[in-house]
Amino acid sequence: MSGPARATQHASSKSAVLDVIRAAGTISRVGLINATGFTGATISTVVRKLIDEGLVVETGRAESTGGKRRVLLQLNHSSRYAVGVHLDHAGITYVLTNLGGSVVARISRAGAGAAEPRTVVARMAAEVKGLIDGVGVDHKRVLGLGLVSPGPLSSDTGMGLTPPSMRKWEDFPLDQELERATSLPVVLDNDATAAALGEHWSGGIGGTAISAALYMGTGIGAGLVINGITYRGSSGNAGEIGHICVDANGPECWCGARGCVEVLAGPAAVVAAARADAALAGSAGLTGRARSVSSDFAAVSRAARRGEPSALAILERSARYIAVAARTLANIMDLEVLVLTGPSFAIAGSVYLPVVRDELDRAFFSRAAHGVDVRLSRSAATASAIGGAALVLQSELVPLHEGLRLPENLADSEPAALPASGE
């Protein structure tokens, strides 16, 4: 899936080369020349700098193809780390990832609840320190902290739009306060967008791929990554796939429209259908007072795994609607890769994956030209927090345009020498 890096505007030749090595896993210097279009001399200089800075290591040799066996390069995974934090009303998930985006430490703690933002930030700083110290990583190797929360976040207005449970956080300068408390650079984004970038970074997806993450927590959203850049729309609300209409005369959705995929097929709709079936409600333990949508959705999924046909039928009906929404997204974006991720796919992904795959194999508009690689995330439950860390890795190490922060030891790299023609 890794194409020529020249389609992406990296801020420097060094970041372009690092991104190709990340996507390839292992690659030779000749491979880098082919992938980037840079000259052999440029590749040689840039690779030497990356090795000197400890970001890249030489690792064995490729199989001989007759001539000299080529030395392979890969990321030096333990050279840098990033912290990802998923902040929610109900819980805070922290991950520490290495340079390749793999999780090396993970903790879950109590959510923001009703506490004052300042109190929560002080606690978060202590929990971040505990996370890093717990695995003995030198704080100097930690590049920054990516904070992810449901709904749009903006560095101008703090949390901006907030769910009702977190109204206290409106206008709270969360990034600045957290930066002060942790002494780490802080970047912010919403959960689906961060999850998409996390899959892009750690899933071996090439720098020029058009990929999306279909994210299902209690709602349904999507994050889009185009040529390595997250597409956010004019207000950070791109990818609201949950509010695609799949039945013009369907029930009213909380967003004000009718027949949205979320109101027909989201976790709340699955739980409501299961509760309406007295036998299933009894066997799945859904009777009595309402619990959270996520715990009830998990109960329906467990019933389906136990082989209860009515539970499986409800989930498969949901999956067919979601597959139509996924096909719509794939058609509009001409997607190459679609990753199912988020807590609800972590629980029920095995039901949804084949239905979505079948829909795209059968009906994706451009299927004669190329297929869509539909995957279930390997880390769907913590995808947002991992995505938070990927935000840091990308903004610090492979900034895609000028103006993003570069670490001091990379700031002197030469500007990207993009080929003048060929595109």
32 binds Zn ion (CB under 5 A): no
By CB under 5 A, residue 255 contacts Zn ion: yes
Are 374 and 356 spatial neighbours (Cβ–Cβ below 8 Å)? yes
Q: Of 95 and 220, which CB lies nearer to Zn ion in the complex structure?
A: 220
CA distance 128 to 95: 9
Count CB neighbours of 33 within 10 A: 16
Stretches 49-57, 135-143, 256-264, 326-334: which one binds Zn ion (CB under 5 A)? 256-264
Chain centroid to CA 197 = 4
Q: How far is the CB of 26 from Zn ion (least distance, A)?
A: 45
**Residue placing its CB nearer to Zn ion in the complex, 240 or 358:** 240
| Shorter beta-carbon distance to Zn ion: residue 214 or 374 | 214
- Nearer to Zn ion by Cβ, of 265 and 274: the residue is 265
Least spacing, CB of residue 321 vs Zn ion, in Å: 13
243 binds Zn ion (CB under 5 A): yes
Closer to Zn ion by Cβ: residue 26 or 218: 218
Assess 268 for contact with Zn ion (CB under 5 A): no
Distance of CA 209 to the CA centre of its chain: 14
Q: 207 to each of 136, 287, 342, 399, how far by Cα in Å?
A: 32, 49, 23, 12
Compute CA distances 19 → 46, 161, 395, whole Å. 12, 33, 12
Window of 71-79, 189-197, 252-260, 396-404 that interacts with Zn ion by CB under 5 A:
252-260
Site string for Zn ion, 189-228 (x = CB under 5 A): ----------------------------------------
> Considering the complex, what minimum distance in angstroms separates the CB of residue 252 from Zn ion?
9
Question: Which string of DSSP letters, residue by residue, matches 322-387?
Answer: HHHHHHHHHHHHT-SEEEEESHHHHHHHHHHHHHHHHHHHHH-TTTTT---EEEE-TTGGGHHHHH
Burial class (CB in 10 A: 0-12, 13-18, 19+), 235: exposed
DSSP string, 279-311: HHHHHHT--SS---HHHHHHHHHHHHHTT-HHH
Sort strands 186-190 and 210-216 into parallel, antiparallel or unpaired: unpaired
Residue whose CB is less far from Zn ion, 5 or 322:
322
Q: In terms of DSSP bridges, do strands 56-61 and 27-28 run parallel, antiparallel, or are they unpaired?
A: unpaired
Tell me the window of 65-73, 238-246, 291-299, 377-385 that interacts with Zn ion (CB under 5 A): 238-246
Which residue, 104 or 245, has its beta carbon nearer to Zn ion?
A: 245
Number of residues that bind Zn ion (CB under 5 A): 5
CA-based radius of gyration for the chain: 22
Nearer to Zn ion, 27 or 322 (CB): 322
Burial class (CB in 10 A: 0-12, 13-18, 19+), 75: buried
Contact flag: residue 257 with Zn ion (CB under 5 A) = yes
- Pick the stretch among 177-185, 211-219, 246-254, 314-322 that binds Zn ion (CB under 5 A): 246-254
Give the shortest CB-219-to-Zn ion separation in angstroms: 9
**Of residues 11, 174, 186, 260, which one binds Zn ion by CB under 5 A?**
260
Tell me the angle at which helices 343-363 and 293-305 cross, rounded to the nearest 10 degrees. 60
What phi and psi, each to the nearest 5 degrees, are found at residue 47? -65, -40
If one asks whether residue 265 binds Zn ion (CB under 5 A), the answer comes out as: no
Nearest to 184 by CA among 147, 145, 155, 154: 145
Q: Return the structure tokens found at 329.
A: 């997204």
Q: How far is the CB of 346 from Zn ion (least distance, A)?
A: 23
Roughly how many angstroms between the first and final C-alpha of the chain, as a whole number?
Answer: 18
Rounded CA separation 364/326 (Å): 9
Least distance in Å: CB of 246 to Zn ion?
11
CB of 315 to Zn ion, least distance (A): 21
What is the closest distance, in whole angstroms, from the C-beta atom of residue 243 to Zn ion in the complex? 4
Collapse the DSSP code of 166 into the 3-class scheme (helix H, G, I; strand E, B; otherwise coil) and give the result. Answer: helix
CB closer to Zn ion out of 254 and 365? 254
Question: C-beta of 255: minimal distance to Zn ion in Å?
Answer: 3
Question: Concatenated DSSP letters for 57-73?
Answer: EEEEEPPP-SSPPPEEE
Residue 126 is a binding residue for Zn ion (CB under 5 A): no
253 binds Zn ion (CB under 5 A): yes
Minimum CB separation from Zn ion for residue 407, in Å? Answer: 42
245 binds Zn ion, rule: CB under 5 A:
no
CB of 256 to Zn ion, least distance (A): 7
Residue closer to Zn ion (CB basis): 246 or 274: 246
| Pick 27 or 326: Cβ nearer Zn ion | 326
Binding site for Zn ion (CB under 5 A): 243, 253, 255, 257, 260
